[in-house]
Amino acid sequence: MSRKSTIEWTNSTWNPVTGCTKISAGCDHCYAERLSERFRGVEGHPFESGFDLTLRPKRLEQPMQWRRPQLIFVNSMSDLFHKDIPTEYIERVFDTMERADWHIYQVLTKRSSLMRRFVQGRYRGQAAPPHIWLGVSVENNAALTRLRHLQQTNASVRFVSFEPLLGAIGAVDLEGIHWVIAGSESGPGARPVRAEWVRALRDQCQAQRVAFFFKQ
């Protein structure tokens, strides 16, 4: 776990899984992959296997040891709902989040249908605990299906990260969404964002009374 994060919308990170695979345009310049692959082959380094999907069960209990309440981004270096992560392992991650309930957890995914299926199964007929925030990444209009999946998920708090914002989103229904993050891509080869794309999202958030945060 990292006690301090440079990510502007959180305090800390917790990575019981690292590594991932790309599924859409928003993954093309993944910062986590870039960081991890720098250390591929370095014997004894946590990222000796680069960005290969890796379960890290020794980290499952880390939030239990962190007594000061934190805003924690879960799996900043992976996607908790990757199809190759066993459901039993995801259950263990949620077990820890439920037990260490003095923290707030931010669970962000691009695999929205898998998150919806898991959450609906775990919290049948009720919402996930309010200290577990559930969110999706949406980089362009083509990815808005993820937002609809989130709206169908039994969550107490739902958030959407329009980052990296790669195109105009257009009109968007934010019913049931509590928080929107927007931001541009950064790092080598970063694709540009247009101010009007961000302003359009901001204006829709204001009109629909949804909290808006612009990163960078």
Is there a domain that residue 109 lies in? yes
Please give the structure tokens belonging to residue 39. 């250390």
Average per-residue pLDDT in the chain? 95
pLDDT at position 59: 97
Is there a domain that residue 3 lies in? no
The answer to whether 112 and 150 have CB atoms below 8 angstroms apart is yes
Mean pLDDT score, 111-131: 97
Mean pLDDT score, 181-196: 92
Is there a domain that residue 95 lies in? yes
The two beta strands, 54-55 and 12-14, are unpaired
Confidence category of residue 17, pLDDT binned at 50, 70, 90: very high
Buried b (16+ CB within 10 A) or exposed e, 105-125: bbbbbbbbebbbebbeebbee
Confidence category of residue 8, pLDDT binned at 50, 70, 90: confident
Is there a domain that residue 7 lies in? no
The vertex-92 CA angle with 15 and 1, nearest 5°, equals: 20
Smallest CA-to-CA distance from 119 within 162, 73, 145, 151 is with 151
- If one counts the domains in the chain, the total is 1
pLDDT at position 4: 61
pLDDT at position 79: 98
- Using CA of residue 157, residue 24, residue 205, residue 116, what is the dihedral sign? negative
Mean pLDDT score, 76-103: 98
**Does the pLDDT of residue 108 top 70, yes or no?**
yes
pLDDT at position 186: 86
Is there a domain that residue 44 lies in? yes
**Does the pLDDT of residue 188 top 70, yes or no?**
yes
What contacts 128, CB < 8 A, 6 or more positions away?
A: 119, 122, 134, 154, 155, 156
pLDDT at position 184: 92
Is there a domain that residue 77 lies in? yes
The distance in angstroms from the start CA to the end CA of the chain is 23
CB atoms under 10 Å from CB of 67, counted, come to 10
**Does the pLDDT of residue 11 top 60, yes or no?**
yes
Is there a domain that residue 87 lies in? yes
Of the listed ranges 31-35, 141-145, 149-153, the one predicted with least confidence:
31-35
Mean pLDDT score, 151-156: 98
Mean pLDDT score, 165-185: 96
Domain extent for 178:
12-214
**Does the pLDDT of residue 85 top 70, yes or no?**
yes
- Counting residues of the chain whose pLDDT is more than 90, the rounded percentage is 91
Is there a domain that residue 181 lies in? yes
**Does the pLDDT of residue 1 top 70, yes or no?**
no
The answer to whether 4 and 11 have CB atoms below 8 angstroms apart is yes
